A and B are shown apart, each in its own frame.
Chain A
């Protein structure tokens, strides 16, 4: 309870003016009147309708405020501010001094350093923007060059595909391994196809076999007899000229006569001496079966 200072003694009498000026209704509601004042005001508000209404209203108001404070509607008070003497306390003085220093430092930073920092920042931003523009320009140029290159490649690819298609139309049909099939009939029917029969004697080196290519021959057939009892999966034939491989034909199988027949384009057989090697292939491993000398004459 708050103790109030000395107040006038009303006895059992209080005027309306005294009640108003002394805020007696509020002090009554708060229980801050002396017993004499309290009794005087009670008799007064029994006579004075205005003060009775004021007292009732104030009591209602005080009750409501206290209820609201308990319910948390009215916030708790902040920490009491330090008195003047608080400045003299060491801890507070140190904190205050630190605050002053901090404020001064901030002020110095704000008014002295900040303009320079702002200028630096502006320059940095400008340089960064310029670099970004340069990068964009370079990137754009690179993209354009890339697009040109892509267009050139597509054009080249289209040209090559066109050539490939043309060549494919000129090539003989391909075998299962994708290579031109050996012994496949020429694209154009032809009479008097040149033929050379090579002796199938392993390790034997007889005289060179002769192959005469007529002027209109498009291909020549090499016929090599293979001995019975051979159990190769297939045969591979290679033609050399001056030690340099001219042609390889794989996947050949013996025909009904026990011979391997391979047709070679005449353009590959220019006049001269050739060596023909026949390999038997089993489990993908080649084994030399025979080696033959071949002399080509009269090729166109």
Chain B
């Protein structure tokens, strides 16, 4: 059985919310809330700020839909992205006005690295288990590519492998990570 949120098309959701349908509002949130949160996190906001941005975004989306401000119901995803980005811009301006932190890096709470918001306990464990299964050269590739952000050509030369091989290593590592992570999530 498909999740309820997926039983509505974007147009149906837009029309339903505009008509005051509570089920449509719930489905709308269910379908897009994770995306809005991820969008905020990927724009380097802290998790706490991202939660605020998500709440504010949905408040405005629901209000706009009720007021009939969405002209093309099938462009609902783009409409939500636009509102979310506006909320983030306002949020950033407010933060810049209330404290001296203007650097985007410094907006991350606690001074933690931006990507730390994506890292949960299972992900950290999955990476450690995956790394243990890799050969030393494959481990070095991951470090050079994702951490040191070196160009593939330089990495291939340093490790003595062809660039096609790097793509394969990356694919295998990601696949291994996915399997372990899903297993840990299932418990």
- By a CB distance below 8 angstroms, the chain A residues around B149 are 1-2, 30
Judge if B102 is at the interface, Cβ distance under 8 Å.
Answer: no
- How long is the Cα–Cα vector from A57 to B130 in the complex, in angstroms? 15
- By a CB distance below 8 angstroms, the chain B residues around A158 are none
Partner of A52, one of B35, B113, B143, B178: B35
- By a CB distance below 8 angstroms, the chain B residues around A65 are 127, 142-143, 146-147
How distant is B162 from chain A, measured CB to nearest CB, in Å?
13
A55 nearest CB neighbor, chain B only: B38
- How long is the Cα–Cα vector from A289 to B94 in the complex, in angstroms? 141
The answer to whether A2 touches B151 (Cβ under 8 A) is yes
Interface size range of chain A in the complex: 35 or more
A55-B38, A61-B174, A66-B113 known; A77 vs B127 contact (CB < 8 Å): no
Tell me the chain A residues, 138-187 only, with Cβ under 8 Å from chain B.
none
- How long is the Cα–Cα vector from A81 to B151 in the complex, in angstroms? 14
- By a CB distance below 8 angstroms, the chain B residues around A74 are 131, 139-140, 142-143, 147
- How long is the Cα–Cα vector from A249 to B126 in the complex, in angstroms? 110
Interface size range of chain B in the complex: 35 or more
Residues of B within 8 A of A (CB): 32, 34-35, 38-39, 41-42, 77-78, 80-81, 85, 113, 115-120, 123-124, 126-128, 131, 136, 139-140, 142-144, 146-151, 154-155, 157-160, 174, 177-178, 181
For the A-B complex with A69-B142, A69-B148, A80-B158 known, give 19 more contacts whose Cβ atoms are closer than 8 Å: A1-B149, A2-B151, A28-B42, A39-B81, A43-B81, A46-B80, A57-B178, A64-B119, A64-B124, A65-B143, A67-B113, A69-B143, A69-B146, A70-B147, A73-B131, A74-B139, A74-B140, A74-B143, A75-B140
Residues of A within 8 A of B (CB): 1-2, 12, 28-30, 39, 42-43, 45-47, 52, 55-70, 73-81, 83
